């Protein structure tokens, strides 16, 4: 007697097995769903806004400061007037040396592939100090004389610039440039003069003058900048400053501020719309691939039903 029940079970089992065996082959026959090719990243450009931090070392040359004054001690009756005035005149070589740190903001425009033009403004707080002095002894006859000493202290409190830049990109991410424009800063000077008339120990005087000036002049220099990424760049720069205006303390102490500095700066460039579009284009193929895998799974599942 034939057992049709067992036969039906064996047929069902065989059909399920064949379905699992045939499923990979059926899946292999499905058309391939390939994602769109990745869009190439946009070429790097120096065009755009940037902000940054600057650190610099500044120093001055040996420009002399001339101190000239009238008689410090009014001793006309004793005849000390001329030697008192002469003793208070001298030359002080007070150099400046120190560091600056601050911020900058600017905009570049790249044109004709390699050329870059831009405008940059920045200001830094300064810890640039210097000092010097002189001493004089001026005779007033065979047994009398005037002894004078001068001490000068000066400092640069801040320094800023508004400059144009013209550069050339020697490679896509390396820029060399020249720069120049307006310079401004705040400077303080203190001069102390002490004088004693000998042989009279009672005739002595100390005079002190302190004056702060906001100075305006010009600057010129150059540098090189390297793009570390699309958002960050670093530069090394040399600038020469001439603040032009003269300092005056006690009405008759005259000097100039001419200084140089080497600066290191890090700049940040905010992302542009073009860089955001590149990110979206790169993520689109991933979504397409996931959809293809899901379609294959659904098709195989339906084929085994």
Q: 169, 146, 209: which is closest to 45 by C-alpha?
A: 169
CA angle 279, 284, 286 (to 5 degrees): 110
Answer for the pair 256, 287: CB distance below 8 angstroms, yes or no.
Answer: no
Domain parsing of the chain, residue ranges: 48-276
Highest mean pLDDT among 7-16, 18-27, 39-48, 107-116: 107-116
SS3 (DSSP) at 254: strand
Residue range 225-249, pLDDT digits in tens = 999 999 999 999 999 999 876 555 5
Question: What does the pLDDT read at residue 6?
Answer: 53
- Output the CA–CA distances (angstroms, integers) from residue 23 to 16, 27, 34, 50, 70, in the order listed: 10, 6, 21, 58, 110
Percent of the chain having pLDDT more than 70? Answer: 67
Assigned fold of 48-276? Porin (2.40.160)
Quickly state the pLDDT bin for 14 (edges 50, 70, 90).
Answer: very low
Q: Of 1-15, 122-136, 275-289, which range is least confident?
A: 275-289
Residue 18 has pLDDT above 50, yes or no: no
Please report the pLDDT score of residue 279 as a whole number: 34
Query: Do residues 150 and 116 lie in contact, with contact meaning Cβ atoms separated by under 8 Å?
Result: no
Segment of 73-87, 102-116, 190-204, 279-293 carrying the highest mean pLDDT: 102-116
The pLDDT score that the predictor gives to residue 304 is: 37
Please write the tens of the pLDDT for every residue from 176-217: 999 999 999 998 888 888 888 777 665 677 777 788 889 999
- Alpha-carbon distance of 264 to 252, in angstroms, equals 38
Residue (of 229, 260, 219, 235) closest to 176 by Cα position: 235
Query: Which residue carries 């005035």 as its tokens?
Result: 85
Q: Using a cut of 0.85, tell me whether the model's pTM lies above it.
A: no
Q: Check whether the bond before 30 is cis (ω within 30° of 0).
A: no
List, in sequence order, every beta strand (DSSP E) within 112-203: 115-139, 145-171, 174-198
């Amino acid at each position: 007697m034939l057992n049709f029940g067992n036969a039906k079970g064996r047929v069902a089992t065989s059909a399920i097995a064949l379905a699992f065996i045939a499923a990979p082959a059926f899946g292999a026959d499905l058309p391939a769903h390939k994602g769109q090719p990745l869009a190439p990243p946009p070429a790097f450009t120096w065009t755009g806004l940037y902000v940054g931090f600057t650190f610099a070392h500044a120093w001055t040359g040996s420009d002399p400061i001339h101190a000239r004054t009238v008689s410090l001690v009014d001793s006309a009756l004793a005849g000390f007037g001329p030697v008192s005035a002469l003793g208070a005149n001298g030359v002080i070589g007070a150099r400046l040396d120190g560091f600056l740190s601050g911020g900058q903001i600017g905009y570049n425009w790249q044109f004709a592939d390699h050329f870059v033009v831009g405008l940059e403004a920045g200001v830094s707080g300064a810890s640039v100090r210097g000092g010097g002095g002189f001493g004089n002894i001026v005779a007033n006859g065979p047994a009398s004389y005037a002894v004078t000493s001068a001490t000068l202290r000066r400092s640069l409190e801040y320094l800023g610039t508004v400059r144009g830049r013209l550069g050339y990109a020697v490679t896509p991410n390396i820029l060399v440039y020249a720069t120049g424009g307006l310079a401004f800063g705040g400077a303080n000077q203190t001069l102390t003069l002490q004088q004693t008339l000998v042989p009279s120990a009672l005739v002595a005087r100390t005079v002190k003058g302190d004056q702060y000036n906001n100075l305006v002049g010009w600057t010129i220099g150059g540098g090189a900048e390297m793009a570390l990424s699309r958002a960050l760049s670093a530069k090394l720069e040399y600038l020469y400053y001439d603040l032009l205006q003269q300092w005056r303390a006690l009405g008759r102490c005259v000097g100039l501020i001419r200084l140089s500095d080497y600066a290191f700066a890090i700049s940040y460039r905010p992302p542009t719309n073009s860089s955001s579009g590149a990110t979206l284009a790169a993520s689109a193929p991933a979504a397409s691939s996931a959809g293809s895998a899901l379609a294959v799974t659904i098709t195989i599942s339906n084929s085994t039903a």
